[in-house]
């Protein structure tokens, strides 16, 4: 009898949004976790979020559902990680945008070039007799399609911002259990110190 095997799930791009305490070395620890376990980072951004004390790190990585669950579990165990959101790149669970800047030769076929830009809701932000600079924003796959459409027009330079993402619905970030335990222990110690101080004052 022939054995029947289920087709394994194919890896696909996922967005991972990590809310962290803004402290030295946090980004390095996150990147090191990916590197040490062989997870490739295909896109990475980091910036302040919800005040100067917190930052949001956003990654694009390849993996199947099980791989992503492992990554998220390991990230949540890192010190200074407050919460992690994730989802497939094309999923409505995570809304992501990137910015793209493209410099083109800008010679000939200008009308057709501007029509392509209009189709992708891009805009010209600078222009000279020898070149034209176009800006576009949107999901990564759409920007990749835009770049492909621009190839016949003499692409000279390309710069991409990397992803900026948010969950597709309102929800609280899943707390880091280690961070929660540390905060609870700190509160208990502070309470105990306050109680000891009051008892000392009464005995004097």
Q: pLDDT per residue over 99-114, tens digit each?
A: 999 999 876 688 899 9
Flag whether the pTM goes above 0.95.
no
> Residue 13's beta-bridge partner residues?
62
> Residue 178's beta-bridge partner residues?
none
Q: What is the spatial distance between Cα 20 and Cα 26, in angstroms, rounded to a whole number?
A: 8
pLDDT tens per residue across span 75-96: 998 889 998 888 777 665 667 7
Q: Pick the residue with more confidence: 100 or 174?
A: 100
Beta-carbon neighbour count of residue 131 at 10 Å?
A: 15
Second-level CATH architecture of 12-94+167-203:
2-Layer Sandwich (3.30)
Domain definitions of the chain by residue range: 12-94+167-203, 96-164
Mean pLDDT of the chain: 80
Residue showing tokens 């890896």: 11
Query: Read out DSSP for 173-184?
Result: PPPPHHHHHHHH
Protein fold of 96-164:
Alpha-Beta Plaits (3.30.70)
Q: What is the spatial distance between Cα 75 and Cα 59, in angstroms, rounded to a whole number?
A: 12
């Amino acid at each position: 009898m022939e054995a029947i095997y289920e087709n394994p799930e194919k890896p696909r791009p996922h967005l991972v949004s990590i809310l962290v305490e803004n402290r030295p070395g946090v980004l390095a620890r996150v990147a090191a976790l990916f590197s040490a376990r062989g997870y490739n980072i295909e896109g990475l951004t980091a910036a302040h979020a919800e005040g100067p004390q917190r930052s949001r790190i956003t990654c694009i990585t390849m993996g199947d559902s099980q791989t992503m669950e492992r990554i998220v579990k390991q990230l949540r165990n890192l010190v200074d990680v407050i919460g992690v959101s994730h989802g497939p790149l094309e999923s409505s669970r995570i809304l992501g945008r990137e910015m793209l800047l493209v410099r083109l030769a800008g010679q000939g076929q200008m009308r057709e070039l501007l029509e392509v830009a209009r189709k992708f809701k891009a805009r010209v932000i600078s222009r000279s007799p020898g070149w034209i600079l176009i800006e576009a924003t949107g999901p990564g796959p759409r920007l990749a399609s835009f770049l492909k459409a621009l190839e016949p027009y003499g692409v000279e330079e390309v710069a991409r911002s990397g992803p900026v993402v948010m969950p597709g619905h309102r929800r609280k970030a899943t707390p880091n259990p280690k961070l929660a335990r540390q905060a609870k222990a700190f509160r208990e110690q502070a309470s105990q110190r306050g109680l000891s101080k009051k008892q000392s004052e009464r005995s004097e």
